[in-house]
Structure 1
Amino acid sequence: MPELVIEYQIENDLSVDEFKQILIQSTLAERRPITEEDRLKDMLKHANLIVTARYNGKLIGVSRSLTDFSFCTYLSDLAVNLEFQHKGIGKALIQHTKLAAPLAKIILLAAPDAVNYYPKIGMTHFEFCYFLKEINDLH
């Protein structure tokens, strides 16, 4: 099999259609609002660091983050097309994200199927994470 030549770049103007397709192709769609076009649009609009991986022009991976470029980068979505997984693309997307904000630590919430992936590539597990889904849950 010939070596894959993947092009990585910052694409903060990624289209909603391409974003939706990569979420579906990666199985991340199971945990994202892919039927709500306006929410997907807002997810892209308010992210300030989107790194893509393309093979022959086709989007095969994306890292969507919110960052202050100084202290922290929240990597909200890391999606790689199932056909291209296990080829180092996810790790490369994380590397390119880190290079774009080198002073900031990357923080993410792992998808259940990916909890064993991140330690393998050198990320540190941190047990003190909390989230609030609904305002009425706060008391």
Structure 2
Amino acid sequence: MKQRTERFEMRLTPEEIAGIREKSKRYHSVSNFIRMAVNEFSDTDAKTRLELCNDTARLCRKFQDELSWMGSNLNQAVKRANELAVAGILSESYFRDNLSPLIEKVSRLVVSIKEEQAHIAKKATRLRS
């Protein structure tokens, strides 16, 4: 391994240097941390992975909003179907045997997707920090 004899100066704010020191604790030195960060940032695969993480987080937030909207619409539809069943316009057995199981399945699916997306977004956000 070549001996490192060259120096590089850089001006930072106290907050920036504190952040670098905090993040470099897992590495043996701040210098080693910066060398590894530069190598990784220069790596096109790493940049692509970071962009994919960012895109995934954006997509999760977008779908989270759409799923919330769909969940609200589903609740309104169920309420209306229940009102019709109570009024005798929609048979109770049809509501209970056909609509209710389907509605519950869709509701569970929406909740499951929202939870999965929140989990993915949290992981992607952690990777960016």
Q: Which has the higher strand share?
A: 1
Q: Which has the higher helix share?
A: 2
Look at both structures and tell me which one has the larger radius of gyration over its CA atoms.
2
Fold match, TM over 0.5? Answer: no
TM category (shorter chain) comes to: under 0.3
Normalising by structure 2, what TM-score? 0.25
